[in-house]
Structure 1
Amino acid sequence: MGTVTVAPEFAPSAGLRALGVVMDVYKHVFAAGKTAQLLSRSNPVRRSGFDLDVDVESVREEADDVLSLSLVAHDGLRLPEWKPGAHLDVFLPSGRQRQYSLCGDPADRMRYRIAVRRIGDGGGGSREVHEAVRTGDVLRIRGPRNAFTFIRASSYLFVAGGIGITPILPMVRAADAAGARWKMVYLGRSRSTMPFLDELSGCAGGELEIRPDDEFGTPDATDLIDRAEPGAAVYVCGPPPVIEAAQRTMFVVNPTGSLHTERFSALPVRDGKAFDIRLARTGTTIRVGADEPALAAIRRAIPGAVYSCQQGFCGTCKVAVLAGGVDHRDRTLLDSERADYMLSCVSRASGDSLVLDL
């Protein structure tokens, strides 16, 4: 779910300067040890061994089409600890598995809070939360897991778009409590659609800018990133256009900073080519377009095909490969699994076709 990009060094003029840059990076990344983790691990999430049942303590309307759920352990015990940027896998009553960022207080070990925006044309998970989940229900969760690591830094720029505020809110609080310099830009369609405005206003140690589109128009990414101090840690979470714009402009505007992003939608397909998938159980052959995930094509034929993160982390869409080569694009499967399985949300055929056990 999360990615981090570190600014490249540009054209060092001499070998000693290049060596100095390497040593500076080494000291910044490694010498800080436990206090400053710059790069996420290659496999930043666990997949099993930490499921538990939780009760829905309360359901609250936070903004137009946004509900928050407060979750407490079914056995009444303390919940596992978590850090800003963490998320839960939530198993809904229908069996759907979805991932939601924790947006409460990490110091409160008695309850978790998640928030869900209703997406009318989505995969059905958000509609189920809004229409079927009620106070007193018991849900199964897995986690917390963290693929959007919050690092120690002297200054921060946070950019959140819409429901992208959920992982960012605990980060702002943490930066504020630590006395770090921070700026926050919160984007949305209108103030009525933007949850947790009141909670953000309680973080008084930094600069908070609320920019709903109906008041300010569509933001310019370069202008947003230009707010960061040199060397700042920049965190961006929101719709794909916001993230992609930040990725295009970050190291032009702030080449000494680090960019950390998280998205809630499927990754765009890069360098894809069309191929066929034969579903072995039915004999059906489906065509996967060059710019669409294999999962999307599979779901046209099997609407109930299970998935969650759509980014190659959680392993929910793992499927057995009976024939054909796979272009693996995930960070989850073990090396011993790659000959026989794929994650259909991100991986593709390395040739013209695959046969899957579906």
Structure 2
Amino acid sequence: MKIRAAVSNRGDDRFSIEELDLDEPRPDEILVRIEGVGLCHTDLVFRDAGDLLIAQPALYGHEGAGIVEAVGSAVSKVRPGDAVAISFRSCGTCDRCSHHDASYCRSAYELNWVGARTDGSKALHRGDEEVASNFFGQSSFATHCLTYERNVVRLPDDVPVALMGPLGCGVQTGVGAVMNSLAAPKGSTILIVGGGTVGLCAVMGARIVGCSTIILVEPKPARRELGREFGATHCIDPAQLSSLSAAVREILPQGVDFALDVTGIPAVLEQIPACLGSKGVLGLVGVVPPGTPMPGDAGTAVTFGLSIKGIIEGDSNPDEFIPVLIDHYKAGRLPFDRLITTYPLSDINKAVKDQHDGKCIKPVLIPEAAGTASRGK
């Protein structure tokens, strides 16, 4: 079938709106009409890496949500007409999946990040040319995508489908980092460094679990104000600091129980361990440059029992955790929709620039109907 999509092409740092051919669903595949898809920093990391990660041309997008239009003969979880949020793909059979650690699936690499089905075939075509597909088991920067049962979570009737895509990555990563990965208990203290989608969702998660002190470090005033509204007890402008640890210990002399970095900036990371109290835990979510060393001093970590924990997708099992997030959203405890600015899919390059310039926090792209494509838009 013909679809309209935002394609990443070799040697081009802008997305191109094009018409592609999408395969009909195989027995294990689900065809979804995309109502909205979040723009995530990870999409841009893969785009900017060129052929180093996934050979281009390629179709990214991994925070899709929409309506099931068709299912393969082996699919029983959903049926045409169901509204779904689409998350990452996992195998469901390895030891990690069996222990509810789907985000650390033993087959995560080949299921999410190679740009093809597991048999090496690609579901997208531009004339005779293949286009890398199956990004996070979806490639949803398009009017339609193919996905799988392990990716999709059915949505209730009373939520705005187009805005639910970020639940599949950014929202569950931020909230899950606090609730699942760090398992911060009620009354604990936490430092969150970075106030984008993941960081602000982490603030909401910290309020949900009842953290007594929630410190947000963020340079943009509007995001610090949102952080306060979402539950941050203290907001720090890093531009005003000579020492992050001194500022944190002015608030909590014994240091924080937990810290979460969502920036991935090595110079920032290096400052965070000194903010931790004894037995403190630092969670790493931000995408760091290759070769970045672990932050902090090993002797200090031993002396004070500090831990560093890498976090993928908020340690979420989407089938279990996304419904929890939706319940919090419907109850008003997780207003992640306040982070969202919508753009037509054809304005994806504007959305990228606006996000980079700090004019928006979480862009969600709304696909237009398939039709005449405009390459290079």
TM-score in terms of structure 2 length: 0.33
| Structure that is richer in strand per residue | 1
TM-score in terms of structure 1 length: 0.35
